[in-house]
Chain A
Amino acid sequence: MYVVELEYGDPGLVALAASLFMFTVFIIVLLIYEGLRNKKTRFTETYLGGEPEDIVSNPTPSPANLYWGFIRRFARVLYRAVRDRMHTGNLQDWLLFMTSWYGLLLLVSIILGAIYMVRGVYP
């Protein structure tokens, strides 16, 4: 009743229909927005809290900051653990770190192998 259902068996067609609808809406909102918006523009310097642009070497910081911001802020514990245990400058520390991980992976593979041999893939 007053509803049209487009039911697809293939998820790809669902994605295609949704994308087509998205494009339709994009065109509609583009026309509305361009019809409504004030076309008057004015160019200024980048806002730096009232300071002139020449106090910074580059008005746009490097994209690498996004990566280091994430690593240093959120993954700080992980970053420090890796730096203090692995990158100490001592080769033995590096070897210990790497072999302990490989040892863990070996242990997991042995346990999974044993489970596979006893029960099969689909028990």
Chain B
Amino acid sequence: MIDAGLIIYWLLAALVYPGFLFLTSLALFTQYYTRKLSARLQNRMGPSYVGPAGILQPLYDLLKLIRVKEEVLPRNSLPWIGRIAGLLGLGAAYTIPLLLPLSILRIHGPYDFLVYMYLCCLWIPFMLIVMSLSFPGPYTSVGVSRILTLVTICEPAYFAALLVPVALTSSMGDPYSVYTASLNSWRLWLNPYTLPLMILSLLAALVSLQAKAMYQPFNIPEAEQEIIAGFETEFSGPILGLGSLLHDVDVAVTALSITYIILGGPYPYPHLSIPGIIVLIAKYLVVMFLAVLVKNLYGRYRIEQALYTLFKYSFIPAIIALTLAYIYINT
């Protein structure tokens, strides 16, 4: 029986926290943090004028694209498919926090890790691809072929990296649950047998985040100037705003998932305590700081260099950690 309270929580979770309002704010803040940090690393100012210290610049840019700019469409495009795909991708991204202990409405159960992966690694990248293919062109096709090529290594590596804490915490609650892993993964950092596995898992996940976010050296699908803007060459106005928001929300959700599933979120402090919130924010900012640092230290790789780097520093460490994790579980 569905009661009114559940419907209110359902709508609150969808609209306010951790859905539309919270995750959009987090994604825009993450974009601001990335731009400001990149600028300071390159001895520039970065966003400065809109809001205090320029913090509202990403929101202003998004509103300008959606509200003010006109949509310039190539003649053989299918804009409504692009719009629907982008919004479905956002729907999937806004659902992911419900599987984490951060939400006011939590959905969990055994094997919810597969639901997490279904939303995070299938819906988001494929909706971005469908969006891009709805506005076809030679540069778009090259960009999409590069996304597909990256996805073949990046997503399995991300899956294997997150599976390590999920498998190791399976005996502590629901089996293969993102929720159980988020509540208990901090214990794995204190166990001398599982500590090296968690370090390998973190390394693999951070390299995957770099590729999923398409930050340097993995910014091959957009490859500015080389293939104009790659998969987003034909995006303009509102659809560019939507694509940009989907990308930012994807980055925020991935960084948040690494913070929770591998780094244990606010733990060892309780969830709604002040130290817990501070620890959670600090971990999130450290994860994003590492991504921005690598982004500014490296130039763009060629596609095969990127794939071998992903294979070497993400896929192989994740597989080694996973194999050792199963040996540990069975001994």
Which A residues fall within an 8 A CB radius of B?
A: 1-11, 13-15, 17-18, 21-26, 28-30, 32-33, 36-38, 40-49, 56, 59-61, 65-66, 69-70, 73-74, 76
A44-B72 contact given A4-B5, A15-B118, A59-B138, CB 8 Å threshold: yes
By a CB distance below 8 angstroms, the chain A residues around B307 are 73-74
By a CB distance below 8 angstroms, the chain B residues around A44 are 72-75
Complex contact A5–B75 (CB within 8 A) = no
B273 at the interface (CB under 8 A from A): no
By a CB distance below 8 angstroms, the chain A residues around B149 are 69-70, 73-74
Complex contact B137–A46 (CB within 8 A) = yes
A47-B233 contact given A29-B87, A41-B70, CB 8 Å threshold: yes
Complex contact A66–B144 (CB within 8 A) = yes
B139 at the interface (CB under 8 A from A): yes
Secondary structure call for the B interface? helix
Can you name the residue of chain A whose Cβ is closest to the Cβ of B75?
A: A43
Name B56-98 residues within 8 Å CB distance of A: 63, 66-76, 79, 83, 87-88, 90-92, 94-95, 98
The distance in angstroms between the C-alpha atoms of A35 and B188, with both chains bound, is 47
- 21 A-B pairs within 8 Å (CB atoms) are namely A4-B5, A10-B109, A14-B115, A15-B115, A17-B107, A22-B119, A22-B123, A26-B87, A29-B87, A29-B94, A33-B83, A38-B66, A38-B69, A47-B234, A48-B138, A59-B137, A60-B136, A60-B137, A65-B145, A69-B145, A70-B152
Complex contact A18–B70 (CB within 8 A) = no
Complex contact A18–B119 (CB within 8 A) = yes
By a CB distance below 8 angstroms, the chain B residues around A7 are 108-109
By a CB distance below 8 angstroms, the chain A residues around B110 are 9, 11
The distance in angstroms between the C-alpha atoms of A69 and B142, with both chains bound, is 9
The 10 closest A-B pairs by CB, nearest first: A26-B91, A8-B109, A11-B111, A37-B238, A40-B70, A60-B136, A69-B145, A14-B109, A25-B91, A22-B95
Complex contact B141–A61 (CB within 8 A) = yes
B327 at the interface (CB under 8 A from A): no
Complex contact B109–A9 (CB within 8 A) = yes
Complex contact B108–A5 (CB within 8 A) = yes
The distance in angstroms between the C-alpha atoms of A44 and B310, with both chains bound, is 38
Which B residues fall within an 8 A CB radius of A?
A: 5-6, 9-11, 13-15, 19-20, 63, 66-76, 79, 83, 87-88, 90-92, 94-95, 98-99, 103-112, 114-115, 118-119, 123, 136-139, 141-142, 144-146, 148-149, 152, 228, 233-234, 237-238, 242, 272, 303-304, 307
Complex contact B105–A6 (CB within 8 A) = yes
Complex contact B75–A21 (CB within 8 A) = no
By a CB distance below 8 angstroms, the chain A residues around B10 are 21, 24
Complex contact A38–B109 (CB within 8 A) = no
Q: In angstroms, how far is the closest chain A Cβ from the Cβ of B161?
A: 20
A59-B136 contact given A37-B238, A74-B149, CB 8 Å threshold: yes
A14-B112 contact given A29-B91, A47-B228, CB 8 Å threshold: yes
By a CB distance below 8 angstroms, the chain A residues around B11 are 24
By a CB distance below 8 angstroms, the chain B residues around A10 are 109
Q: Which of A4, A29, A33 contacts B106 (CB 8 A)?
A: A4
Q: In angstroms, how far is the closest chain A Cβ from the Cβ of B322?
A: 20
